[in-house]
Amino acid sequence: MAAIVSEHLLEWYDAHARNLPWRARPGEPAPDPYRVWLSEVMLQQTTVAAVKPYFEAFTTRWPTVEDLAASPEEDVMAAWAGLGYYSRARNLVKAARAVAGQGGFPDTEEALRELPGLGAYTAAAVAAIAFGRRAVVVDANVERVVSRLFAIREPLPGSRKAIRACAEEITPDSRAGDFAQAMMDLGATICTSRDPKCLLCPLQAACRGRAEGDPAQLPVKAPKKAKPLRQGKAWWIERDEAVWLVRREGKGMLGGMRALPDDGWSAGGDGSGEPPLDGEWQGAGVVRHTFTHFALEMSVECQSTREEPQGQGEWWPVDQLDEAGLPTLFAKAARLVLA
């Protein structure tokens, strides 16, 4: 089965590979490891459509890993704003500096795992795609394809060990990078979460899920737990057509990002945090945002002032707020006020 799967899948990939800015076409030399690594970090829990403009912006501004390594972290964080999961951006800078310090990317899965922020998946993807190493690359698309191909019915996440073992079984020794990307493309375009296009699938004859008649039911997922709801508050302080922004603590949620001052909701605050300025506040409304482990309802209160707020911060021109690199939550708050 393994030889048939890899042969048919690679034939399909040669004809149907997606054109993506971080990829080399089948038969072309392997892409720059920097571009592979950067794209894989950006694509973690983020769609291809959302990543494309960020990838283009990053590689235009920082064409090489050395350029990225030399950039101040706050500039990278600002450029990352809107992609979410901001620890990725902090680790991006750390890993870039480590790579620049050692004169280039290591070319083995094991050595890549030593870089900040590179887990099993990213290290395997870079090793296979950039360096042609045989590595087992398993993302959400591959989980779905393998679950259906082998009719794995144990619910996720418990089935991941079995999925990886089956992915190991079908990964070829040659063209490992093309095979990994072919599996990703198959999951993204043919073996989709809903309404899989089995009649177009190059693996339909080998697919046990299809033979059993219900491939769309796989992979089985455990019921999601309801996310707790937190309440919070942020303050919009305006003076001379500028708004007061603070820099969040370097560690923790949205660490290192510019933001509006708030009441400490990210640390489980109960809305009792004190505003950085006395005076009369006017409610602008509530913004809602969902994080990985909880949902947030954050009320936004406004005040125009001639005073200087308490604590460290900076006045940022309102008409240049797009350049501040606000994370999505606070960008929503700004849009609410400005509307």
- The residues annotated as belonging to the active site are 40
- 128-166 burial code (b ≥16 CB/10 A, e <16): bbbbebbbbbbbebbbbbbbbbbbbeeebeebeeebbeb
Rounded distance between C-alpha atoms, residue 201 and residue 240, angstroms:
61
Structure tokens at 95: 């890993």
179 and 9 in contact (C-beta within 8 Å)?
A: yes
- Angle at the Cα of 43 (from 94 to 60), degrees rounded to 5? 65
Structure tokens at 280: 């009369």
Strands (E), 130-279: 229-239, 242-247, 258-259
What SS3 class is residue 137? coil
Q: 3-state SS of 83-110?
A: CCCCHHHHHHHHHHHHHHHCCCCCCCHH
Rounded distance between C-alpha atoms, residue 154 and residue 138, angstroms:
17
Place of tokens 């008409």: 319
103 and 21 in contact (C-beta within 8 Å)?
A: no
Helices 160-170, 2-16: axis angle to 10 degrees equals 80
